[in-house]
């Protein structure tokens, strides 16, 4: 990696910001001249004794920025006398500590970072060119490695939310990274199920699932080294899992060309989501990776993308069964969802 393509600076309140550029030769010397109070997150961790699950309490987030106008976006570059979270007048990709984090500080530990994919406010991840996808992959990989080294961090969670319908409070193209001081319960349960499978049958459970899905009828798209499919037991109306065909536990385990292939397939899936209806589908996406210090043989890297939009004018809500009992009910047959996503990739909006 060219050292000039990556530079770390400090914001006015002491938070770290890192520029990841598509190439060298960019001036990132601008200073943050805002008058900000010292960064002092005050989140708490509380254990639910009945489920043995950690709950994060972050009351300070009540005051975070919520759906600002485009000319007041804190993720746009600083320009024209307006000062934002990014001091430079332009950027490619940046990561920085969240000003209103869910985690961080002595009470809770961990860390939360924002990842901005472009300085173009009206763009989207699906519109990023190949070179920018490579820069995002480099940023995600770098932060996964570095955050995994922080004392007390047990799991690094890379994710992206888009759309008011799923609670995104900023419309600028961005994602986040949470460095949890614990292993989230869903991740821990997946590891336990994979361990039981290995003990009883041998081998890797996610690898077996990938092989079965490739032989089924729910594959949406496939490249030489990755496959995207709607899982047999999809919880959401349109849900796609992207897996490498070889066993890899985390993003840093992939070579640069593999990362490029993964990112291109992720972009392809997002474009298919956009082609489902007359308007872009809100979505949530995340990377599943191995816990820090966990058994890498039990974890299989994957990306998961899903939307609560079940029809052009209907959303799926997490009602009593999902929110109360934890039992999902899907309104769309996974085989139909896979077919619609395959068609959407070639026929554009409204294809069914």
Among 137, 142, 161, 158, CA closest to 265:
137
Compute CA distances 340 → 216, 262, 274, 301, whole Å: 16, 22, 12, 25
Residue 139 backbone dihedrals phi, psi, to 5 degrees: -65, -45
What gap in Å lies between CA 223 and CA 140, rounded to an integer? 21
Tokens of 87: 């001091």
Are 273 and 237 a contacting pair, CB within 8 Å?
no
**Residue 63 annotated among the catalytic residues of the structure:** no
Q: How far apart are CA 188 and CA 171, in angstroms?
A: 32
- Under 8 Å between Cβ of 172 and 302: no
Q: How far apart are the C-alpha atoms of 302 and 291, rounded to whole Å?
A: 13
Query: Which residue among the candidates 92, 142, 172, 174 is catalytic per the annotation?
Result: 174
Phi, psi of 228 (to 5 degrees): -120, 125
What's the token pair of residue 61? 């987030």
What backbone torsions phi and psi does residue 312 show, to the nearest 5 degrees? Answer: -55, -35
DSSP states of 304-344? EEEESEEETTEE----IIIIII-----SS-HHHHHHHHHHH
Catalytic residues: 174
């Amino acid at each position: 990696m060219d050292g000039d393509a990556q530079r770390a600076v400090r914001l006015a309140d002491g938070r770290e910001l890192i520029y990841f550029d598509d190439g060298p030769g960019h001036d990132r010397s601008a200073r943050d001249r805002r008058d900000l109070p010292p960064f002092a997150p005050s989140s708490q961790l509380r254990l639910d004794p009945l489920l043995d699950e950690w709950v994060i309490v972050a009351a300070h987030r009540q005051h975070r920025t919520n759906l600002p106008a485009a000319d007041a976006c804190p993720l746009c570059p600083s320009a024209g006398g307006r000062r934002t979270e990014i001091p430079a007048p332009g950027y490619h990709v940046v990561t920085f500590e969240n000003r209103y984090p869910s985690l961080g500080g002595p009470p809770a530990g961990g860390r939360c970072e924002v990842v901005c994919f472009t300085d173009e406010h009206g763009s989207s991840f699906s519109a990023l060119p190949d070179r920018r996808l490579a820069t995002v992959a480099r940023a995600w990989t770098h932060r996964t490695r570095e955050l995994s080294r922080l004392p007390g961090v047990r799991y690094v969670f890379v994710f992206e939310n888009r759309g008011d319908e799923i609670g995104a409070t900023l419309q600028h193209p961005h994602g986040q990274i949470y460095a949890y001081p614990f292993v989230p319960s869903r991740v821990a349960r997946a590891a336990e199920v994979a361990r039981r499978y290995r003990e009883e049958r041998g081998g890797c459970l996610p690898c077996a699932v990938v092989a079965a899905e490739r032989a089924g009828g729910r594959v949406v798209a496939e490249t030489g080294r990755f496959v995207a499919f709607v899982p047999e037991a999809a919880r959401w109306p349109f849900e796609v899992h992207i897996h490498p065909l070889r066993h890899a536990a985390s993003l840093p385990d992939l070579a640069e060309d593999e990362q490029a292939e993964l990112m291109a397939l992720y972009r392809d899936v997002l474009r298919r989501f956009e082609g489902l209806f007359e308007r872009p589908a809100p979505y949530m996406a995340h990377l599943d990776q191995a816990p820090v210090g966990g058994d890498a043989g039990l974890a299989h890297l994957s990306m998961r993308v899903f939307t609560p939009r079940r029809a052009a004018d209907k959303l799926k809500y997490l009602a009593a069964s999902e929110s109360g009992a934890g039992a999902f009910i899907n309104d769309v047959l996974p085989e139909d969802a896979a077919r619609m996503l395959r068609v959407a990739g070639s026929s554009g909006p409204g294809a069914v």
